[in-house]
Structure 1
Amino acid sequence: MLLQLPRRPLVLLPLLLLAACAKAPAQNLPTTPSLITPAPLLNVPQPALDFAEWRQNLRSEAVAAGIDGALFDRVFAGVTPDPAVIKADSSQPEFTRPIWEYLDGAVSASRVGRGRVLLAQHNVVLRNIEQRYGVEAPILVAIWGLESNFGNNIGSNSVIRSLATLAYEGRRQAFWRNQLLAALQILQNGDISSERMVGSWAGAMGQTQFMPTTYNEHAVDFDGDGKRDLWNSSTDALASAAHYLQSSGWKPGQPWGFEVRLPKQFDYFHADPEQRRTLAEWQALGVYPAISSKGAAVDSRATLVLPAGHRGPAFLLLDNFRSILRYNNSTSYALAIGLLSDNLLNPTEVQASWPRDERQLGRSERIELQQLLAASGFDPGPADGIIGANTRKAIRMLQLQLNEPADGYPSPELLETLRKR
């Protein structure tokens, strides 16, 4: 039995290219993306060794892991830490763009138009990829579009230099060291030369922005030229993204999710990512698709998400949305992929209005909100400015006390209420 599902939005304002990547560090694309004003630099541990000593220790580790010593010496000749990479890793945004502005650019008319052209041009390859991995073409083209503007912006940083910098003096040095060793393995396998191994400041590579460990596990040679080339072969890049999504539990033929209408007097406490119900159970609560079309079985399980609180649109998100989150753990990013993929097939619009008049809390305000929640007897987790599951749960409990819609959304009004308590 199938539930009628909606078609989804075309939003028309421009945005700068996004910087997401498969299994990238979380700071590469925040949940509410796009930096406006940088906050002061975070404390970064100072290296105990100078770079030459550190590089020699790394060489010993790399050789023990099977990396050719001559290759290591050639790749690291002249490599020095990059101060710009440390600055990018150490800073955090004070202000972020609201999700509706992010989506305006992610699903812009120009991106949709270009994506449709490429969807047609690569039709045969995409059908072969879908037959092999079960991932539909529009999703892959949407990822291609957001990750690198369809291969036009793959980054220009030396991956080896960036990763060496982060492994030497960045945060989470063990993580970056592991990525650096994986990058050396890629070079040893001969898929790319060190000079052409370029990417983002965080080491995300190619047209689908894979981290080196993800590359080693999921990159494929789909064009049959003997190399897994995510930089120059769109075929390899698209197939590798499909392989990654398949490994992340992608369910062929199932939508990622859809916009829904909520009944009057709806209990917004149900809008919790930890609450998963079948589509039939959501229907019983009065939750129905905003626009009808064919889609998922009523026994499919979904979560209800209000990305802008109860004043904005509501979405039911299915298992394939969770697979997209494995690619980049950002609700905004995954929603952009879903909406863009829908628009590559049919021009559609989000039915509900975004609360464009509402100001977003800055990072320092979010930290203050968490501190005040804790002082009021709730448990928002660490005061880190990240509005995660614990903070949203604490906000819901406060909203219930205040007899307000318990949507878990951190609004300026809620912060002001806490300041007065």
Structure 2
Amino acid sequence: MANEPVITAPDNFDECLATIGDRAIAEGVSPDTARQVLAGAEFLPRVIELDRRQPEFTTTFADYVGRRVNEQRISRGRELLQEHRELLARVTRETGVPPAYLVSFWGLETNFGSYFGKMPVPSALATLACDPRRATYFSQELISALKIIDEGAVPAEQMEGSWAGAMGHVQFMPSVFLQHAVDADNDGRRDLWNSLPDAMMSAGKFLQSMGWDGEYRWGREVALPGGFDYTVADGGWRPLAEWQQLGVRDAFGGALPDASIRARLVVPSGHQGPAFLAYDNFNVIMGWNRSEFYAIAVGHLADRIAGAGDFRTSPPTDAPALARDEVELLQSTLNAKGFEAGRPDGIMGPATRSAIRRYQASEGMIADGYPSLDLLQSLGIQPRALES
């Protein structure tokens, strides 16, 4: 820790904020709001630390879901589903998003409103906007935050949230707030901190805007037949009837629904863990957060809150957790062996999973696209997390 460089404000911090202030005024923010709020914005070294910090190891699916979909959260979610049933039913009528999903997002984002974050949003966004790594994105988010303050939704000193600027019960970024937050309690302002009606209706409107289909669920756990060809996952979306023809059944071994809906196969922890057919609503959830783990957690928590049981197949708890540089090494090694995984970036995306499948198939392994310990050892990679 003593050798870590001290993070200080950039020399042009004040100049950067002045430029953003001019842009905000040009976009309609009142000069008084822009100048007063930005004059009080401070550079927060902690925000830069959190933005640049990469976790030592990426979490496994078992750990991710286990931490987020637990008995305490399920029980509390069921209580709140009943406590707020009239409000949630209203949101469902207007947006098509079922109550259990609304409560699930609420639970995953802020543990049902118990923690919104304590960072002053104007200062957090100012810090990120004047750091070169993602200056364009966060400059616009800071301008959006100024517009929210200017409209009277929240005083600047009360605008608190996450280190990245996400705010309120459902952790909207300022740009999402501007586009999708609503005044559902008709008190004259959009308040995602203190008004649960505003927060829940805003969440429903956001999901509706991304194409939520109220006729279908997020997806479902499924059972795959012995000898299943996992390379079909690279083929993307197929109608349920085609998955049925490939031997895929629901988690209990029954036939898939007779519905004209497309789905894609997701196996987040390889052939030894649960498999899912993800529907279009799964992509909508990923419009909120681009993580497949997150999308499954939202869907699974919603199912559990609505009364469903746990996964029929438990995810393996001994799966290796890889650091980002280890994923880069995996990608580089696959590329060197002729299995194109794309530019090594440390992110386990579709190109990397496809390359893993092709390598696994060439070695006679089950081609599930998962970086199992057997795969890593075959490539000469020893995860640090497993070193004694």
* TM-score tier after normalising by the smaller chain length: over 0.9
**Unaligned segments of structure 2, at least 5 residues:** 382-388
Residue equivalent to 2:107: 145
Residue equivalent to 1:385: 346
Q: Does 1:233 find its partner at 2:195?
A: yes
- Pick one of 198, 202, 207 that aligns with 1:245: 207
Residue equivalent to 2:120: 158
Cα distance, 1:347 vs structure 2: 4.1
Q: Does 1:107 find its partner at 2:33?
A: no
Indicate if the aligned counterparts of 1:373 and 1:394 stay in contact, CA closer than 8 A: yes
Q: Alignment partner of 1:94: what SS? A: coil
Residue equivalent to 1:263: 225
Residue equivalent to 2:289: 328
* Inter-partner Cα distance in structure 1 for 2:166 and 2:314: 35
* Inter-partner Cα distance in structure 2 for 1:416 and 1:123: 52
Larger deviation, residues 88-97 vs 145-154: 88-97
* Inter-partner Cα distance in structure 2 for 1:63 and 1:354: 52
Indicate if the aligned counterparts of 1:206 and 1:237 stay in contact, CA closer than 8 A: yes
State the TM-score, normalizing by the size of structure 1: 0.86
Cα distance, 1:293 vs structure 2: 8.8
**Unaligned segments of structure 1, at least 5 residues:** 1-37
Q: Alignment partner of 1:302: what SS? A: strand
* Inter-partner Cα distance in structure 1 for 2:198 and 2:255: 32
User: Which amino acid in the other structure matches residue 245 of structure 1?
Assistant: L
Q: Within 5 Å, give how 1:75-86 maps onto structure 2.
A: 75-86=37-48
* Inter-partner Cα distance in structure 2 for 1:170 and 1:145: 33
* Inter-partner Cα distance in structure 2 for 1:165 and 1:91: 15
Cα distance, 1:363 vs structure 2: 2.0
Q: Does 1:419 find its partner at 2:380?
A: yes
Indicate if the aligned counterparts of 1:182 and 1:216 stay in contact, CA closer than 8 A: yes
User: Which amino acid in the other structure matches residue 230 of structure 1?
Assistant: L
Indicate if the aligned counterparts of 1:311 and 1:355 stay in contact, CA closer than 8 A: yes
Indicate if the aligned counterparts of 1:203 and 1:212 stay in contact, CA closer than 8 A: yes
Indicate if the aligned counterparts of 2:223 and 2:253 stay in contact, CA closer than 8 A: no
Cα distance, 1:51 vs structure 2: 1.5
* Inter-partner Cα distance in structure 2 for 1:349 and 1:293: 17
* Inter-partner Cα distance in structure 1 for 2:84 and 2:256: 25
| Percentage identity across paired residues of the two chains | 44
Cα distance, 1:404 vs structure 2: 1.1
Q: Alignment partner of 1:95: what SS? A: coil
State the TM-score, normalizing by the size of structure 2: 0.93
- Pick one of 314, 324, 340 that aligns with 2:301: 340
User: Which amino acid in the other structure matches residue 221 of structure 2?
Assistant: E
Residue equivalent to 2:14: 52
Instruction: Please give the per-residue CA displacement for 1:150-182, whole angstroms capped at 9, x wherever unaligned.
Output: 111111101100000000015210000010001
Cα distance, 1:291 vs structure 2: 2.9
Residue equivalent to 1:192: 154
Indicate if the aligned counterparts of 1:148 and 1:208 stay in contact, CA closer than 8 A: yes
Indicate if the aligned counterparts of 1:144 and 1:207 stay in contact, CA closer than 8 A: yes
* Inter-partner Cα distance in structure 1 for 2:48 and 2:109: 22
- Pick one of 238, 255, 279 that aligns with 1:318: 279
Q: Alignment partner of 1:336: what SS? A: helix
* Inter-partner Cα distance in structure 1 for 2:78 and 2:208: 23
- Pick one of 145, 149, 164 that aligns with 1:202: 164
- Pick one of 68, 90, 95 that aligns with 1:128: 90
User: Which amino acid in the other structure matches residue 328 of structure 1?
Assistant: N
* Inter-partner Cα distance in structure 2 for 1:220 and 1:138: 20
Aligned pairs, number: 379
Indicate if the aligned counterparts of 1:51 and 1:168 stay in contact, CA closer than 8 A: yes
Higher relative contact order (CA 8 A, sep 6+): 1
User: Which amino acid in the other structure matches residue 383 of structure 1?
Assistant: P
Indicate if the aligned counterparts of 2:21 and 2:38 stay in contact, CA closer than 8 A: no
Indicate if the aligned counterparts of 1:378 and 1:394 stay in contact, CA closer than 8 A: yes
Instruction: Please give the per-residue CA displacement for 1:15-56, whole angstroms capped at 9, x wherever unaligned.
Output: xxxxxxxxxxxxxxxxxxxxxxx9x999x9x95x52122222
Q: Within 5 Å, give how 1:171-190 maps onto structure 2.
A: 171-190=133-152
Indicate if the aligned counterparts of 1:86 and 1:170 stay in contact, CA closer than 8 A: no
Indicate if the aligned counterparts of 1:79 and 1:161 stay in contact, CA closer than 8 A: yes
Change (3 A) 1:417 1:294: closer
Q: Does 1:410 find its partner at 2:367?
A: no
Residue equivalent to 1:97: 59
Residue equivalent to 1:357: 318
Residue equivalent to 1:372: 333
Indicate if the aligned counterparts of 2:183 and 2:198 stay in contact, CA closer than 8 A: yes
* Inter-partner Cα distance in structure 1 for 2:263 and 2:122: 41
Q: Alignment partner of 1:232: what SS? A: coil
Instruction: Please give the per-residue CA displacement for 1:76-133, whole angstroms capped at 9, x wherever unaligned.
Output: 2332210000111111112022111221121111101111111111111111111111
User: Which amino acid in the other structure matches residue 52 of structure 1?
Assistant: D
